[in-house]
Amino acid sequence: MNEMTIPTNWDALKEQAAMLVKSGFLPMSIKTPEQAIAIALTGKELGIGMMEAFRSINVIQGKPTIPPQLMLALANRTKELENITIDSNDDRCIVTVKRKGREPHAETFGVKEATDMGLMGRDNYKKQRGIMFKWRALAANLRVTFPDAMIGFYTPEEMGAEVKVGDGESMEVVNIADISDQGIGVRAPAGYKKLKETDPEAAKALLGENFYTKKTAKGEFIHAKDANAGVEGLPPLEDAIIDQQEQLTLVTLAKDKNVAPEALRAHLKENYGINGWSKIKKKDYSDVYQWVILNEADAVNG
């Protein structure tokens, strides 16, 4: 199967990148021809085709990252990966790699390392920590044993991106815009954010499992899964915000009733002075719910 290759002519590359972005076929994170070109050129350095680069390379905090599966493929392609062994249990995973002409090298990642890095509270580490331990240990090992093939790359998860484990233990970056996977993130109250900026570990300790972090162009922000959850040491919210499940309920209801998203947003802006359903207050939830039901009509869309 022939993978689309990168044009050698600069003008042709720019034209192809613009066409691919307009096609809507590329991942949602690639929004401009310039981004597409940067990823394509990075893929060229790794010796992979353009479409494989679009599928595999994610830019996190301004740095390109690659999944651990691609790291292993790059190591295999050198023809110098002599042996790899994985010793795993519930507490840790030890990955040992033997490169031709060199002594075996082992890397360990487990509960201790994940706890020290504040990872054990994440959903993946609760449900599939064996897989997460394995990929972490493997990535760390390959950067040591095959630095010429890895050229300093880290995985998206190592750079702080939210990931999910798919079929065949594949690791994919979560698309936060996809509410079916992530839900609608509610930014934590200002007290949480301030505490996060001054003492991240203290903030996480206060929130327990009631948070996730999201990296943006403006930096990392902490979000509460339920912005109304009571946390000892912080003042209660005066105007509680609807939680994730209530947000999803409204979004789903609007879709089922054929109420256009722009109509709902306009209603919220005009009547409640807010932009989007993630800021609806608990006290207004039932009124908005009823408005969606009563406005099940083509007139709303037209």
Spell out the SS3 assignment of 91-124.
CEEEEEEEECCCCCEEEEEEHHHHHHCCCCCCHH
Beta bridge partners of 223: 187, 212
CA angle 42/45/49 to nearest 5° reads: 75
- C-alpha R_g of the chain: 23
Give me the residue spans of the domains in the chain: 10-56, 69-173, 186-224, 244-301
Contact assessment for residue 36 and residue 15, using Cβ atoms and an 8 Å cutoff:
no
Contact assessment for residue 225 and residue 231, using Cβ atoms and an 8 Å cutoff:
no
pLDDT per residue, tens digit, the chain (302 aa), is 345 565 567 777 788 888 888 887 787 778 788 888 888 888 888 888 888 888 888 887 667 889 999 999 999 999 999 999 999 998 999 999 999 999 999 999 999 998 888 788 787 888 889 999 999 999 999 999 999 998 888 888 887 777 777 766 777 776 533 323 333 334 454 455 555 555 566 666 666 666 666 655 445 566 665 555 555 444 444 466 777 667 777 777 787 778 887 888 888 888 888 887 778 887 787 788 778 877 764 433 33
Measured between alpha carbons, how far is residue 162 from residues 1, 44, 108, 136 in Å?
31, 26, 22, 14
Helices (H), the chain: 10-23, 33-46, 50-56, 68-77, 111-116, 123-127, 129-145, 147-150, 190-198, 200-207, 244-256, 261-272, 282-294, 298-301
pTM score over 0.85? no
CA–CA gap between residue 131 and residue 198 (Å, rounded): 32
